[in-house]
A and B are shown apart, each in its own frame.
Chain A
Amino acid sequence: MKEKPFSKYQILANAVMIIWTLAIILPFILLFMSSITDENTLVANGYSFFPKKFSLASYSYIIKSGGQILKAYGVSIGVTVVGTLLNVLLSALMAYPLSVKNLPGRNVMMFFVFFTMLFNGGIVPSYIMWTGTFHIKDTIFAQLLPNFLLSAWNVMMIRTYFTTSIPDGLYEAAEIDGASQFTIFWKIVLPLGKPILVTMGTFAGLAYWNDWTNGLYYIVKNTGLYNVQNLLNQMVQNIQFLTQSSNSNVTAAASTIPATGIQMAIAFVAILPIMLIFPSFQKYYAKGIALGAVKG
């Protein structure tokens, strides 16, 4: 850990990561450039980093036809924040007992969690249950509850982290000091587990943010509850129909839509908030509380 900035290893590591970072950033730049390229130039000349003619038509179309878009952002942000917090809390609560090696029945509990990763009954029974028993259809709970509140995958990853990174002795020491299991959880497990909780929370948040299936299945009448993905998907599909249909019943509206560029613009609109927010999360990835602090 104590190297000089320009050791051979540092140069190698940075060279590899810079190349990879470029390989990631360049397609995103291409995506952005396509979204501000004039539609006809885009279709005729293809995607280019240096388009011959620029146009903001795609963005103005989104703003014009997506009057709902602010509301949809509201739904997306609200659901993502609440969902992520609940997800992290539930996952951590579930992962901690699984990491306690002596816990009787731990294997059965592990199996109980793991099994859900492999088998599922498909959308039809889920739909019947969520709409028939829980009546979440066309409510905000439709965006929040099905599928994303807890993922077995996340629980397993957090549990693995707890087992490897939190020394066994710590629990026993705390127990001897008379701390209850809940105290241990709050005071030791959560702070020490911060790196993994932030990481898995990020993935849980992304899963909520990127999801369009819940809206598709469970939001039918009350489209005011669409999230950004639902709204943008709907926009893309309408445009595709209007401009690609070999069915000749199209109105004049179609000729003014920048069909190709708009998909790029829409993709950009959907990921931009995350791209802006994510880097500011970085500080939480750094070490949680130094282990020594807890020990002492």
Chain B
Amino acid sequence: MASLKKSHASSGSSHSKAAKFKRYLPLYLMFLPGAIYLLINNYIPMAGIIVAFKKYNARLGIWKSPFCGLANFEFLFASSDAWTITRNTLLYNQAFIVLNTVVGIIFAIFICDTFNKKLKKIYQSAILFPYLMSAVILGYIVYAFLSQSTGIVNNSILSALGKDAVNWYAEPKYWPFILIFVNTWKGVGYGCLIYISTINGIDPSLYEAASLDGATKWQQIKNITLPFLKPTVITLTLMSVGRIFYSDFGLFYQVPRDSGLLYSATNVIDTYVYRGLMKSGNVGMSAAAGFYQSIIGFIIVLTANGIVRKVSKENAMF
């Protein structure tokens, strides 16, 4: 609000409204095609959220189905699992956000600074490859390492060290580490590539000037690279925070191979909903779960954005 007022003043009150409109019209026109797509693809179907509050009847359709209050939401809170799945979802997502940011930035800086062009190319390609692997295949690969009877870890590594084989798929205590590692393995490339492109956008003369001044590598990173990455980090984090009640279904379902004994460490909201509804396919209840995940994320992200706005206004999203 304040920023708008200021800009209003700075753009000069001598401009008439018409002139201002004419100046900005092309910008609104550029915004338009994407906005129309979002309106069609996202906003129109959003009306379907109302199903979360209804007893869905396919022949009456979304609008005419009778309301049923909050009945569709009950299953999310009714059982003792509600606490476990909420805790797991939140903790894992926090760990993922922090690790993907920190590791992503470190790798991005390393890659950008790599002297050898060929190696640079290899790192940059490799880091994206895990993105191509579907969760099912990822599940098989992890199983190749952790299987009880034929797994590489039990048969080659632990036996060589003279240690007993571990029944990985029955011991929940290992899984927070396994899942966090697998998620980093798979997901770090995304942020990393974005950081690389941001670093590539930094004016090289800044570094040249700094090294002429005798700045160490660490000082250059601290004073040039990181400040440049800050807006990107904030945007990425804010967006991830908005989805903090969602989780990568494949990671939590396929990778632990749906092993019941691991649920205390692997059950998240998405897997809980899937297991509960896959047999019946209840439209209203799945809509309710989605709405619950969205609204909590929405509240958290508004709060987070508010805090960012207080601390550094220019980096807030809106």
Contact flag (A, B; Cβ within 8 A): yes
B271–chain A nearest beta-carbon distance, Å: 18
Is A91 close to B, CB under 8 A? Answer: yes
Which of A46, A128, A145, A263 has its CB near the most chain B CB atoms (within 10 A)? Answer: A46
A197–chain B nearest beta-carbon distance, Å: 9
In the bound complex, residues from chain A placing their C-beta under 8 Å from that of B119 are 14, 17-18
B11 x A102 contact (CB < 8 A): yes
Is A206 close to B, CB under 8 A? Answer: yes
Find the B residue at minimum CB distance from A34.
B144
In the bound complex, residues from chain B placing their C-beta under 8 Å from that of A182 are 26, 30
Which of B137, B197, B198, B283 has its CB near the most chain A CB atoms (within 10 A)? Answer: B197
Q: How distant is the Cα of A126 from the Cα of B40 in the complex, in angstroms?
A: 9
Which residues A106-159 have CB closer than 8 A to chain B?
106-114, 116-122, 124-126, 128-129, 145-147, 149-150, 152-153, 155-157
B114 x A124 contact (CB < 8 A): no
Interface mask (A13-53 → B, CB under 8 Å = 1, otherwise 0): 11011101101110110110010000000000111100000
A195 x B45 contact (CB < 8 A): no
Is A100 close to B, CB under 8 A? Answer: yes
B41 x A20 contact (CB < 8 A): no
B198 x A119 contact (CB < 8 A): no
In the bound complex, residues from chain B placing their C-beta under 8 Å from that of A157 are 194, 232, 235-236
Q: How distant is the Cα of A104 from the Cα of B203 in the complex, in angstroms?
A: 29
A13 x B42 contact (CB < 8 A): no
B270–chain A nearest beta-carbon distance, Å: 14
Q: How distant is the Cα of A147 from the Cα of B38 in the complex, in angstroms?
A: 9
Number of interface residues of A (CB under 8 A): 105
Stretch among B83-91, B120-128, B168-176 lining the A interface: B120-128
Main SS class of interface, A: helix
- A5-B37 contact given A17-B111, A267-B134, CB 8 Å threshold: no
Is A101 close to B, CB under 8 A? Answer: yes
Stretch among B71-79, B94-102, B260-268, B293-301 lining the A interface: B293-301
Is A202 close to B, CB under 8 A? Answer: yes
Q: How distant is the Cα of A98 from the Cα of B316 in the complex, in angstroms?
A: 13
Which residues A72-125 have CB closer than 8 A to chain B?
90-91, 93-94, 96-98, 100-104, 106-114, 116-122, 124-125
Is B204 close to A, CB under 8 A? Answer: yes
Is B200 close to A, CB under 8 A? Answer: yes
A30 CB contact (under 8 Å) in B24, B144, B287 = B144
In the bound complex, residues from chain A placing their C-beta under 8 Å from that of B287 are 121-122, 124
- A17-B38 contact given A24-B129, A110-B317, A275-B129, CB 8 Å threshold: no
In the bound complex, residues from chain B placing their C-beta under 8 Å from that of A121 are 45-49, 51, 287
A274 CB contact (under 8 Å) in B116, B132, B190, B236 = B132
Q: How distant is the Cα of A146 from the Cα of B130 in the complex, in angstroms?
A: 25
Is B207 close to A, CB under 8 A? Answer: yes
Q: How distant is the Cα of A196 from the Cα of B269 in the complex, in angstroms?
A: 33
Q: How large is the interface on B (under 10, 10 to 19, 20 to 34, 35 or more residues)?
A: 35 or more
A104 x B107 contact (CB < 8 A): no
Is A68 close to B, CB under 8 A? Answer: no
Main SS class of interface, B: helix
Stretch among B146-154, B159-167, B251-259 lining the A interface: B146-154
Is B110 close to A, CB under 8 A? Answer: yes
In the bound complex, residues from chain B placing their C-beta under 8 Å from that of A34 are 140, 144
B30 x A94 contact (CB < 8 A): yes
Q: How distant is the Cα of A91 from the Cα of B47 in the complex, in angstroms?
A: 24
Q: How distant is the Cα of A117 from the Cα of B38 in the complex, in angstroms?
A: 10
A165 x B132 contact (CB < 8 A): no
B123–chain A nearest beta-carbon distance, Å: 5
Which residues B228-256 have CB closer than 8 A to chain A?
228, 231-232, 235-236, 239, 242-243
B34 x A165 contact (CB < 8 A): no
Is B275 close to A, CB under 8 A? Answer: no
In the bound complex, residues from chain B placing their C-beta under 8 Å from that of A160 are 231-232, 235
A164 CB contact (under 8 Å) in B11, B231, B239 = B231
Find the A residue at minimum CB distance from B10.
A102
A104 x B24 contact (CB < 8 A): yes
B242 x A10 contact (CB < 8 A): no
Find the B residue at minimum CB distance from A7.
B217
B110 x A17 contact (CB < 8 A): yes
Is B201 close to A, CB under 8 A? Answer: yes
B141 x A161 contact (CB < 8 A): no
A202 x B211 contact (CB < 8 A): no
B298 x A113 contact (CB < 8 A): no
- A202-B7 contact given A93-B33, A122-B290, A264-B137, CB 8 Å threshold: no
Having A24-B130, A156-B239, one finds 15 other A-B pairs with CB under 8 Å, namely: A1-B207, A2-B207, A24-B127, A101-B314, A121-B45, A124-B51, A147-B41, A150-B37, A157-B194, A157-B232, A164-B231, A165-B202, A181-B30, A185-B30, A199-B197
Q: Ordered nearest first, which 3 A-B pairs have the shortest CB separation?
A: A46-B150, A121-B48, A125-B48
Pairs across A and B, CB under 8 Å, 28 listed:
A3-B217, A5-B115, A20-B126, A21-B122, A31-B137, A46-B147, A90-B34, A91-B34, A101-B3, A107-B1, A119-B49, A120-B45, A121-B46, A121-B48, A125-B48, A149-B41, A150-B34, A152-B38, A160-B231, A164-B232, A182-B30, A192-B201, A195-B200, A202-B128, A264-B140, A271-B132, A278-B129, A287-B200
A-to-B contact residues, CB < 8 Å: 1-3, 5, 9-10, 13-14, 16-18, 20-21, 23-25, 27-28, 30-31, 34, 45-48, 90-91, 93-94, 96-98, 100-104, 106-114, 116-122, 124-126, 128-129, 145-147, 149-150, 152-153, 155-157, 160-161, 163-165, 180-182, 185, 192, 195-196, 198-200, 202-203, 206, 210, 236, 263-264, 267, 270-271, 274-275, 278-279, 282, 285-288, 290-292
